[in-house]
Structure 1
Amino acid sequence: MARPSHPPFRAARRTATLLAALAATTAALSSPAALAATPAPVQQSMNTLVHSDGMPAALAAVTGRDGRSRNYAAGVGDLATGAPVPRDGQVRIGSNTKTFTATVILQLVGEGKVGLDQPVETYLPGLLRGDGIDGRRITVRELLQHTSGLPEYLAAMGDILADPHRYYEPRDLLDFALTQKADFAPGTKWEYSNTNYIVAGLLIEKVTGRPVGEEITTRIIDRLGLRHTYVPAQGELTVRGPHPEGYERATPGGPWKDVTEFDPSAGWSAGELVSTNSDLNQFFTALMTGKLLGPAELAQMRTTVPADEVGPGTRYGLGIMSRPLTCGGVYWGHGGDIPGYRTRGGVTDDGRAVSISVTTTPDAASAPHVEAAVDAALCG
């Protein structure tokens, strides 16, 4: 099949005009008269995503420079029962998983066990062979930075919701990619491909001798005390804690289908984690303040290349993006899509953090509004 315009586990395009418009709206809402008559700006954004864009539910966690956190929600957590949205409920976080995976790789770099500019062949001999694909020519850095040229495995999988309970071995996912031709010669351009992070997960397992999920849990989740973040167990189809249901539509305006029960092995080390917005804020804040990586490795992570496919001014480092804010400066984060959920957010260098989730993967018209809500929260 053709590569979808908004495949699961990846970041969506942002629209600068919408960002500016929503930022202006936030500024207007900040006046004393407006505050007396309207909800707080972040709550207003959540309400807009539900009532104007038609998303079943929207959730947000915002951390200010003072370290204080606030949670917001709008919509319905379960369309069948009318249950409210759980406060700071768990969601599938899709491609935010990539930042966890990249962090483990960079920890291994700091331990002298992996070299960023070593070929993948050094660690996974013979694994990457195909039409224009050669692991001897692709470096670890190029995997993490999406400059490897490896083709997107999702493009050859078909509709993953056709069999949502199907379990995929990581090698199954890689094999989908290797049926295709390389997108470009390694290092010659940037193009997002989930395949890079499947290979990164296999590399972690080869170097450490342990499952990638155990490494992420031990090195990051347990270390930071992320109580609501976890790597799903093999065959685990549901979300463990309080959570809003995730939904998709087969056609625009059609009936919602509950897709919460889903085997996330289709994302593996590229997109299978479950978390909450507040845990994501804690993770990205800890990462950007040096609590998970040494100074040299964090500097490598923050060394970026243009990623215009995502949006104007966006740049991609090693498992993390920087995106411009309408109020000046940038924020660092990732974002992720997986059936039933979209999450966007990040942190600024002065300590602000925002994470916003909606309980569907939005259509092209409303997708930029989630990104705009992040900008409004960080600039408000």
Structure 2
Amino acid sequence: MNHKLYMAALALLISGCVKDDPVFPKSAFDCAIGVQNTHPDSLRFTNFLEEKVQEGLPGISMLIETPDGIWSGAAGLADIPNNITLNSCNKHKLGSSTKVFTATLIFQLYEEGRLRFDDAITKFLPDSLINKIANYKEVTVKNLLTHTSGIPDYLDIAYSLKYYDDPTRVWTDKQELELVYKEPAVFAPGTKVDYSNSNFLLLGMIAKQLTGQTGTALYTSKIFDPLGMSNSFFNEDGTIPDDLTRGYFDENGKGNFIDITQRSFAAHSMAGGAVSTVAELHRFVKTFWNGNSLVSEETKNEITTLDEIPFLHPDKFNYGEENKVNKIQGIGLCWFQMDTDYGIAYGHDGGYDGRRSVMRYFPDSQSYIVYFVNGSGESIRPILRELRRNEMIELLFE
């Protein structure tokens, strides 16, 4: 996505799209923590979150697990005008971190023999739906999973402008897909890697086409219910529950946050739209990588085996040796593989208006970190960048 154009459109249009702040009772955000803190560094972790709020984050919730123990905590506010404290058990929208759930559905269909990674998408989706998309005849399921399709990202400036005309509109996946009709290919399939939300829009369509089920039904029956993720759901119809942590955007870069929770933001497409807690997202990540109930070891081996395909914009993924997360080596079937000072990490991020979600798994040390921030905007961008590239590594290992 063209983030400079996107933010410009946002700055111009946001002021006319926000209604008065809703009023919620504090009881709306009551929840059971569920994690017993056993980590010896629990106090240090808690103090760190408080420091991040002092630096300018509206709120942050986090869970850390290492061989020494587990901890979860939160700081800041779930609801600023109503002065409601954020708890680590509160629910957050995940944004693009939803993609790991969609990928898991595709892996399960693969293991059931209902698709192959080298199948062309024309095998599953009708020609009338996809024949106006660049590269549609050549693109495979694997191209979508690895972001090597060359299909343009529908979340670009055209979507942004339409979105802010009606920010609470819940788009169908077909309506989202139509935004890239007749747009030129970014590159030939399989020649470059470039992140595009259109890839997972199409994967969600394939999963629904093959099963005859909705995204909500698939996530619930295949992932959330089996893992006991009772506070997780797919926000497919755009309904905002009262107990969802509010999302805030800094409209002028000076830390003046406004509530933009009501915006649906591409919920329907299975490229985003899931809701969870740090404890339940951690449960998913841990089960995915250290269990066999979601996917097999053979599939995980395919995920961790990277093809030698270069990024279209390699500088965006090379952070430099001065950072503890040095670079992103590649995208292996949805999961980002990162080179850090403490070994390989696997994960995915989600980031859009008023939200940031991050999950990481470090296999060498069997360590995990999951965190959510309920804010976005220029004033906190450096805080979020430092957290992703350095501070989360320091929390885990130093």
Q: How high is the TM-score relative to the length of structure 1?
A: 0.84
Instruction: Name the counterpart of 1:268.
Output: 269
Instruction: Name the counterpart of 1:351.
Output: 366
**Counterpart residue type for residue 250 of structure 1:** E
1:110-158 deviation digits (Å, cap 9, x = unpaired): 1110110011111113132337x13220010000100000101011202
CA contact (8 A) 2:135 2:188 kept: no
Instruction: Name the counterpart of 1:198.
Output: 201
Q: 1:215 aligns with which of 211, 215, 218?
A: 218
**Counterpart residue type for residue 392 of structure 2:** V
| Equivalent-residue separation in structure 2 for 1:6 and 1:88 (angstroms) | 35
Please show how residues 73-92 of structure 1 align to structure 2 within 5 Å.
Answer: 73-92=74-93
Instruction: Name the counterpart of 1:180.
Output: 183
Instruction: Name the counterpart of 1:167.
Output: 170
- Give the C-alpha shift of residue 6 in structure 1: 9.9
Instruction: Name the counterpart of 1:141.
Output: 142
- Give the C-alpha shift of residue 338 in structure 1: 3.0
Change (3 A) 1:355 1:5: farther
| Equivalent-residue separation in structure 2 for 1:318 and 1:223 (angstroms) | 22
| Equivalent-residue separation in structure 2 for 1:63 and 1:7 (angstroms) | 36
Change (3 A) 1:353 1:254: closer
Instruction: Name the counterpart of 1:280.
Output: 281
**Counterpart residue type for residue 351 of structure 2:** D
1:154 aligned counterpart, secondary structure: coil
| Equivalent-residue separation in structure 2 for 1:61 and 1:6 (angstroms) | 34
- Give the C-alpha shift of residue 246 in structure 1: 1.0
Q: How high is the TM-score relative to the length of structure 2?
A: 0.80
Change (3 A) 1:43 1:223: same
Instruction: Name the counterpart of 1:22.
Output: none
Change (3 A) 1:374 1:362: farther
Q: 2:130 aligns with which of 128, 131, 134?
A: 128
1:87 aligned counterpart, secondary structure: coil
1:76 aligned counterpart, secondary structure: strand
- Give the C-alpha shift of residue 226 in structure 1: 1.1
Structure having the larger proportion of residues in strand: 2
2:71 aligned counterpart, secondary structure: strand
**Counterpart residue type for residue 152 of structure 2:** P
Instruction: Name the counterpart of 1:56.
Output: 58
- Give the C-alpha shift of residue 377 in structure 1: 2.7
Change (3 A) 1:348 1:291: farther
1:5-55 deviation digits (Å, cap 9, x = unpaired): 5979xxxxxxxxxxxxxxxxxxxxxxxxxxxxx984423432332222x11
CA contact (8 A) 2:62 2:370 kept: yes
CA contact (8 A) 2:236 2:268 kept: no
CA contact (8 A) 1:151 1:178 kept: no
Instruction: Name the counterpart of 2:20.
Output: none
Instruction: Name the counterpart of 2:323.
Output: none
Change (3 A) 1:255 1:161: farther
Instruction: Name the counterpart of 1:31.
Output: none
Name the % identity. Answer: 25
| Equivalent-residue separation in structure 1 for 2:144 and 2:382 (angstroms) | 31
1:366 aligned counterpart, secondary structure: helix
| Equivalent-residue separation in structure 1 for 2:97 and 2:141 (angstroms) | 19
Change (3 A) 1:65 1:291: farther
- Give the C-alpha shift of residue 362 in structure 1: 4.4
Change (3 A) 1:247 1:183: same
**Counterpart residue type for residue 375 of structure 1:** I
| Equivalent-residue separation in structure 2 for 1:374 and 1:182 (angstroms) | 37
Instruction: Name the counterpart of 2:331.
Output: 316
| Structure 1 range deviating more: 334-343 or 92-101 | 334-343
Aligned length: 344
2:226 aligned counterpart, secondary structure: helix
Q: 1:158 aligns with which of 148, 157, 160?
A: 160
**Counterpart residue type for residue 63 of structure 1:** E
- Give the C-alpha shift of residue 91 in structure 1: 0.5
Change (3 A) 1:277 1:6: farther
In the alignment, structure 1 segments of 5+ residues that lack a partner are: 9-37
- Give the C-alpha shift of residue 83 in structure 1: 1.5
CA contact (8 A) 1:55 1:362 kept: no
Change (3 A) 1:41 1:7: farther
Quick one: higher RCO (CA 8 Å, sep 6+), 1 or 2?
A: 1
Instruction: Name the counterpart of 1:47.
Output: 50
**Counterpart residue type for residue 2 of structure 2:** R
Change (3 A) 1:273 1:167: same
Instruction: Name the counterpart of 1:341.
Output: 355
CA contact (8 A) 1:50 1:56 kept: yes
Change (3 A) 1:377 1:146: same
| Equivalent-residue separation in structure 1 for 2:350 and 2:264 (angstroms) | 16
CA RMSD in angstroms, aligned pairs only: 2.3
| Structure 1 range deviating more: 274-283 or 70-79 | 70-79
| Equivalent-residue separation in structure 1 for 2:357 and 2:47 (angstroms) | 18
2:171 aligned counterpart, secondary structure: coil
- Give the C-alpha shift of residue 232 in structure 1: 1.8
- Give the C-alpha shift of residue 77 in structure 1: 2.2
2:357 aligned counterpart, secondary structure: strand
Q: 1:365 aligns with which of 382, 387, 392?
A: 382
